[in-house]
Amino acid sequence: MSHAHEDPTVPKGALVMAAALIALALALTAATRLGWIPHAASPVAERTAADVAPVAERTLHFSDTVDGSVRVVDAETGQEIAIYGEEGSGFIRGVMRGLARERRMNGIGQQQPFALTLWEDGSLSLRDSATGRVVELGAFGADNRAVFVQFLENGDG
């Protein structure tokens, strides 16, 4: 049996193209960092610049229960809005896990509420009043957005 001789080298054209792609990525990154290319505006900055007002807002507390459920409470009234068992709303769990992790990293407890806001332009945001971090909930699709919109619909808004 004879083995066909295979050339283990990469074609020169492929190496040139890979190097060009890497150089382009580095150039664009440097241009953005140096201010030659403007940063993409954040939704918060865009709303502020356009003077977009809130349509509805509610402050909420999210907490884990002993049985693994997530409890959602109106921060102003103390009224329980919803409770999700282990099978319910993985999206809420995911968002809150990320926000809780940031609080733990900064040594912040669960005392301060989250502000859920529906804006005139239709966007929906969840702001952590403890860290200032804002999550734009519309970015995760209509179904996931609707999970949070219901908290505004169940309250005085």
Structure tokens at 109: 């407890």
CA–CA distance from 48 to each of 5, 52, 62, 123 (Å)? 65, 6, 27, 13
Residue 19's Cβ-count burial label (10 Å; 0-12, 13-18, 19+) is exposed
Structure tokens at 114: 């989250």
Of residues 1 and 59, more confidence is placed in 59
Tell me what the mean pLDDT of segment 13-22 comes to. Answer: 94
Note the pLDDT of residue 13.
92
- pTM surpassing 0.75? no
Residue 134's Cβ-count burial label (10 Å; 0-12, 13-18, 19+) is middle
H helical segments located in 11-141:
12-33, 43-49, 90-105
> Which residue in the block uniquely carries the two structure tokens 């102003």?
76
Q: Could you tell me if 135 and 147 are in contact, meaning their C-beta atoms sit under 8 angstroms apart?
A: no
Quick: pLDDT tens for 26-75: 999 898 888 888 777 677 778 877 778 899 999 999 887 777 788 899 99
